[in-house]
Amino acid sequence: MFFYLFVSFILGSAVGSFLNVVIDRTTRGESIRGRSYCDHCRVTLSTLDLIPIISFIVFRAKCRYCKKPLSWQYPLIESLTAILFTLAFYILAKNSNLAIIPLLYYFLIISVSIIVAVVDLKYYLIPTTFVYIASIIALFYNYLFLSSTLFVEHVIAGFVIAFLFLLIVLVTRGRGMGQGDIVLVFLMGMVLGYKGTFVAIFLAFLTGAIVSVALIISRKKHFGQTVPFAPFLILGFLTSLFWSEQLLNIYLQMLY
């Protein structure tokens, strides 16, 4: 088991390195093809410069050529992706659902989630193209691997939660929620079903409220200023993806 967890971690760090490229280049309108380069001196980076996590540490968070500081985004995304890939492998194995297609499906959902969260956090926009593609894949995955009842449940969950968020957008005229959030919660409903989506949305609003209040108290934000909501939706999404049943049981035990 340890060997496969280690492989998942290495794979996740490599995918995280690629996600950094996707995040930076797509938002700049660049192609993701071609060799990586330093954002400061534009020198093409070698393999030695691109070892996930390790290169950042060895070269002390600086470009090996121009010595300019590198963004902490790179090791953080690589580490986060590695941890989440490892966690996905572990949970699927623990639940006796470890097979190549479910594992790749989880890896895809995690990758898209990271892209969406980071792009919204940095640029206040949601790259809906990735969300649309993930939603279509989720639809086919559910059709092939879920019972007909669960398949219908997940589809309905996606449309219902998207409709509710649409109402929020219309009522607040886009100030309380963005249109990209509608697409994102549709994906969440497709992947999680109505129970898991309930957990995810509850966690998203709870953590979003706590962080927003903390930012206002610390005077980093003023009341009425926009705070990107997708990172909180993604936090709730991934938490529910891994532990929705456990969290629901805890919630029901608190009620009764």
pLDDT at 223: 66
Cβ count near 130 (within 10 Å): 21
Out of 31-35, 58-62, 100-104, which region has the weakest mean confidence (pLDDT)? 31-35
Give the number of residues written for the chain. 256
CA–chain centroid gap for 40, Å, is 27
pLDDT value at position 170? 87
Percentage above 70 pLDDT, the chain: 97
- What's residue 8's pLDDT? 96
3-state secondary structure of 69: strand
pLDDT in tens, 133-148: 999 999 999 999 999 9
pLDDT at 242: 95
**pLDDT at position 39, please?**
80
Could you give the count of Cα atoms lying within 13 Å of 161 in the half-sphere of its Cβ?
28
* pLDDT tens string 35-94: 888 788 888 888 888 899 999 999 888 888 888 898 899 999 999 999 999 999 999 999
CB atoms within 10 A of CB 39: 13
Nearest to 178 by CA among 213, 223, 226: 226
- State yes or no: pLDDT of 219 exceeds 80: no
Partner residues linked to 44 by β-bridges: 37
Mean pLDDT of 11-35: 87
The tokens describing 137, both together, are 């894949």
Helix, strand, coil share of the chain (percent; to 5): 75, 0, 25
pLDDT at 61: 87
User: Which pLDDT does position 29 carry in this prediction?
Assistant: 75
Confidence of residue 224 (pLDDT cuts 50, 70, 90): low
- Residue 102 tokens read as 């479910």
Task: Please tell me the predicted confidence (pLDDT) of residue 172.
Answer: 79
- At a CB cut-off of 8 Å and minimum separation 6, what does 188 contact? 158, 161, 197, 200, 201, 233, 237
Average the pLDDT over each of 13-17, 69-73, 136-140, 240-244 and give the range with the smallest value: 69-73
pLDDT digits (tens, 9 = 90+) for 151-183: 999 999 999 999 999 998 888 776 767 789 999
The pLDDT value recorded for residue 176 is 64
Q: Is the pLDDT at 249 greater than 90, yes or no?
A: no
Q: Name the pLDDT band for 112 (thresholds 50, 70, 90).
A: very high
The predicted model gives 108-117 an average pLDDT of 97
- Reduce the DSSP state of residue 249 to 3 states and report it: helix
